[in-house]
Amino acid sequence: MAYQTLTVEIDDYVALIRLNRPEALNALNSQLLGELGDALADADKNEKIRCIVLTGSEKAFAAGADIKEMATKSFVDVYTDDLFGAEIDRITATRKPIIAAVAGYALGGGCELAMACDFMLCADNAKFGQPEINLGVMAGIGGTQRLTRFVGKSKSMEMHLTGRFMDAAEAERSGLVSRVIPAAKLIPEALAAAKRIAEKSQIAIMAAKEAVNRAYETTLREGILFERRNFHALFATEDQKEGMAAFLEKREPQFRDR
């Protein structure tokens, strides 16, 4: 499908989705978030896609929700439309793994979008922040909850209340991103990680993704029970037999997602 605010390239079972509104540093407007939701829903259905990399430009992953689009809205407008609530829910409902590859600014809704992905790799020029407070508002698509879970209350509170940015080294140190990569290598590294994921049994990948996400949504006891049941269930798959047989026979596994 052709999109106006993003591009999608599919190669070797990996979809590379690039946000593409350079004139506004990839600010998230209704069209972009709608197209992103459509692209992710298509990716979930497409057998040629087994992992997704979401990125922006070298200067900005996304500089936040589009301030021009929001500026004149009233409480009734945003409450009635549940501004971007359904859109962010579509992103977290994606069943295939999404890696956020962040270079440059990931601010406000851009930081929230990156945090809604499954994990984040960032370039050494990345800058994260929740500067909505400078606009007289606050984070609105998960920032107060997700950033706090990633980096803890003190750092999250400071970022939300002062609007200060966090650089790549601090983001890695505090657990917001899994790795910092030299900017020129960000996309190749993200694609390589996605390729490694694409080679696994996709049933095990989905079950593991669901279980890790439970860590954010339930108690430890319930999460561990969920993990245990998913682990048990994987013994009903052919891929478990194949994976373990391949190890014992000292060969590469041939997973068939069954």
Contact footprint for ligand HXC (CB under 6 A):
24-25, 27, 63-68, 83-84, 105, 107-109, 131-132, 135, 140-141
Beta-bridged to residue 51, according to DSSP, are 14
Residue among 84 and 255 whose Cβ is closer to ligand HXC: 84
The angle that helices 85-92 and 30-45 make with each other, rounded to 10 degrees, is 20
How far apart are alpha carbons 108 and 131 in whole angstroms? Answer: 6
- What is the closest distance, in whole angstroms, from the C-beta atom of residue 33 to ligand HXC in the complex? 9
132 annotated active-site = yes
Residue among 50 and 127 whose Cβ is closer to ligand HXC: 127
Catalytic residue, candidates 60, 103, 106, 112: 112
How much is the CA Rg of the chain, to the nearest whole Å?
19
Within 10 A of 231 (CB to CB), how many other CB atoms are there?
Answer: 14
How far apart are alpha carbons 249 and 157 in whole angstroms? Answer: 52
Residue among 37 and 131 whose Cβ is closer to ligand HXC: 131
Please give the full DSSP string across 103-125, using - where no structure is assigned. -SEEETHHHHHHHHSSEEEEETT
How far apart are alpha carbons 211 and 225 in whole angstroms? Answer: 10
112 annotated active-site = yes
Residue among 97 and 108 whose Cβ is closer to ligand HXC: 108
- What is the closest distance, in whole angstroms, from the C-beta atom of residue 231 to ligand HXC in the complex? 37
How far apart are alpha carbons 24 and 132 in whole angstroms? Answer: 16
Angle, CA of 18, 108 and 32, to the nearest 5°: 35
Residue among 132 and 239 whose Cβ is closer to ligand HXC: 132
**Element (DSSP H or E) covering residue 189:** helix 186-198
Catalytic residue, candidates 109, 129, 140, 143: 109
65 annotated active-site = yes
Residue found under tokens 């972009």: 32
- What is the closest distance, in whole angstroms, from the C-beta atom of residue 67 to ligand HXC in the complex? 4
**Torsion sign (Cα): 241, 246, 247, 252:** negative
- What is the closest distance, in whole angstroms, from the C-beta atom of residue 93 to ligand HXC in the complex? 17
Catalytic residue, candidates 35, 87, 132, 172: 132
Within 10 A of 97 (CB to CB), how many other CB atoms are there?
Answer: 22
C-beta of residue 55 within 8 angstroms of C-beta of residue 91: no
Active-site residue set: 65, 109, 112, 132
